[in-house]
Amino acid sequence: MSLILDTPLVKNGHSFYVRAMPKVTAEHRLARRAQIVAAARSCVAEQGFHKTTMADVIRESGLSAGAVYGYFKSKDEIVAAIADDALGSIDKLFDELLARPEPLTPVGALQTVLEHVIFLAEQPGGDVTRIAVQAWAEALHNEAVHATASSKYLLLRGYFVEIARRAQADGTIDADTDPEYIAQVLFGMLPGFILQRLLLGDVSPATYTAGLAALLRP
Amino acid sequence: MSLILDTPLVKNGHSFYVRAMPKVTAEHRLARRAQIVAAARSCVAEQGFHKTTMADVIRESGLSAGAVYGYFKSKDEIVAAIADDALGSIDKLFDELLARPEPLTPVGALQTVLEHVIFLAEQPGGDVTRIAVQAWAEALHNEAVHATASSKYLLLRGYFVEIARRAQADGTIDADTDPEYIAQVLFGMLPGFILQRLLLGDVSPATYTAGLAALLRP
Amino acid sequence: MSLILDTPLVKNGHSFYVRAMPKVTAEHRLARRAQIVAAARSCVAEQGFHKTTMADVIRESGLSAGAVYGYFKSKDEIVAAIADDALGSIDKLFDELLARPEPLTPVGALQTVLEHVIFLAEQPGGDVTRIAVQAWAEALHNEAVHATASSKYLLLRGYFVEIARRAQADGTIDADTDPEYIAQVLFGMLPGFILQRLLLGDVSPATYTAGLAALLRP
Amino acid sequence: MSLILDTPLVKNGHSFYVRAMPKVTAEHRLARRAQIVAAARSCVAEQGFHKTTMADVIRESGLSAGAVYGYFKSKDEIVAAIADDALGSIDKLFDELLARPEPLTPVGALQTVLEHVIFLAEQPGGDVTRIAVQAWAEALHNEAVHATASSKYLLLRGYFVEIARRAQADGTIDADTDPEYIAQVLFGMLPGFILQRLLLGDVSPATYTAGLAALLRP
DNA sequence: GATGAATGAGAATTCATTCAT
DNA sequence: TATGAATGAATTCTCATTCAT
Look at residue B99 in the predicted model and tell me its pLDDT: 81
Q: What average pLDDT score do residues C5-19 get?
A: 37
Q: Which percentage of chain A shows pLDDT scores above 70? A: 89
- Between A184 and C13, the more confident residue is A184
Find the CB nearest C210 among D177, D192, D216. D177
**Is B10 domain-assigned?**
no
Give the confidence band of A98 by pLDDT, cuts at 50, 70, 90: confident
pLDDT above 60 (res C201): yes
The percent of residues above 90 in pLDDT, for chain D, comes to 75
Residue B30 CA and nucleotide E21 C1' are separated, in Å, by 27
Read off the amino acid at residue A3: L
Q: Kindly report, residue by residue over B114-158, the tens digit of the pLDDT.
A: 999 999 999 999 999 999 999 999 999 999 999 999 999 999 999
A18 inside 8 A of chain D by CB: yes
With touching defined as 3+ CB pairs under 8 A, do chains C and B touch? yes
Question: How far is it, in rounded angstroms, from Cα A160 to Cα A105?
Answer: 10
From the list D16, D20, D23, which residue is nearest A20 (CB)? D16
pLDDT tens-digit readout, A174-186: 999 999 999 999 9
Dist. CA B125–CA B41, nearest whole Å? 7
Domain boundary among A79, A97, A112: A79
Residue type, A106: P
In terms of domains, do A58 and A152 share one?
no
Domain count, chain A: 2
**Cβ atoms A44, B141 nearer than 8 A:** no
Task: Count other Cβ atoms within 10 Å, centred on residue A56.
Answer: 17
Find the CATH number of the domain harbouring D130.
1.10.357.10
Neighbours of D204 (CB within 10 A): 17
Give CA–CA dist B175/B177, Å, rounded. 6
Distance of CA A94 to the CA centre of its chain: 12
- Residue of chain B whose alpha carbon sits nearest to that of A164: B215
C74 touches strand E (CB under 7 A): yes
Find all residues with CB under 8 Å of C74, minimum gap 6, and list them.
none
| C1 lies within 8 A of chain B by CB | yes
- State the pLDDT at residue C9: 37
| Contact (Cβ atoms closer than 8 angstroms) between residue C100 and residue C106 | no
- Distance CA(D138)–CA(C136), nearest Å, equals 11
Quick one: B104 and B211 in the same domain?
A: yes
Q: Give the tens place of pLDDT for each residue, A100-135.
A: 877 789 999 999 999 999 999 999 999 999 999 999
In a domain, A14, yes or no: no
Q: What percent of chain D has pLDDT over 70?
A: 89
**Residue D3: DSSP 8-state:** B
- Residue-wise pLDDT tens digits, D182-213: 999 999 999 999 999 999 999 999 999 999 99
What is the domain extent for residue D153?
A: 87-216
Q: How far is the CA of A29 from the C1' of E11 (A)?
A: 28
> What pLDDT, in 10s, does the model give residues B39-90?
999 999 999 999 999 999 999 999 999 999 999 999 999 999 999 999 988 8
Q: What is the CATH number of the domain that holds B27?
A: 1.10.10.60
Per-residue pLDDT averaged across A146-169, rounded?
A: 95
Question: Are residue A206 and residue A157 in the same domain, yes or no?
Answer: yes
In a domain, C63, yes or no: yes
Quick check: B159 pLDDT over 50? yes
C95-153: pLDDT as tens digits: 888 888 777 899 999 999 999 999 999 999 999 999 999 999 999 999 999 999 999 99
Q: Both B48 and B107 in a single domain?
A: no
Residue C171 in contact with partner chain D when CB distance is under 8 A: no
Nearest nucleotide to the CA of A75, by C1', is: F12
Give yes or no: residues A194 and A97 share one domain. Answer: yes
A97 & A66 share domain: no
Residue C25 is predicted with a pLDDT of 75
CB D193 within 8 A of CB D203: yes
Q: Is residue D94 part of a domain?
A: yes
- Residue B162 clears pLDDT 60, i.e. is over it: yes
Same domain, A95 and A196: yes
Lowest mean pLDDT segment, chosen from B94-108, B173-187, C16-30, D4-18: D4-18
In the prediction, which pLDDT does A28 show?
87
Choose among A8, A14, A18: nearest Cβ to D16.
A18
Is the CB of residue C143 less than 8 Å away from at least one CB of chain D? no
**Chain C neighbors (3+ CB pairs < 8 Å):** B, D
Same domain, A90 and A177: yes
* Chain segment B172-213, per-residue pLDDT in tens: 999 999 999 999 999 999 999 999 999 999 999 999 999 999
pLDDT grade, residue A27 (50/70/90)?
A: confident
- C78 contact partners, CB below 8 Å, separation of at least 6: C36, C37, C40, C57, C68, C72
Tell me the CA–C1' distance in angstroms for D12 and F9. 50
d(CA C89, CA C121): 10
**Strand E bases, protein C-beta under 7 A:** 1-21
- Strand E contacted by B66 CB (< 7 A): yes
Position B19 confidence tier, pLDDT thresholds 50, 70, 90:
very low
Same domain for C90 and C190, yes or no, is yes
Residue C123 sits in the same domain as residue C196: yes
B69 shares its domain with B100: no
Q: What is the mean pLDDT of chain B?
A: 88
By the CB < 8 Å criterion, does A21 face chain D?
A: yes
C3 touches strand E (CB under 7 A): yes
Contacts of A152 in chain B (CB under 8 A): none
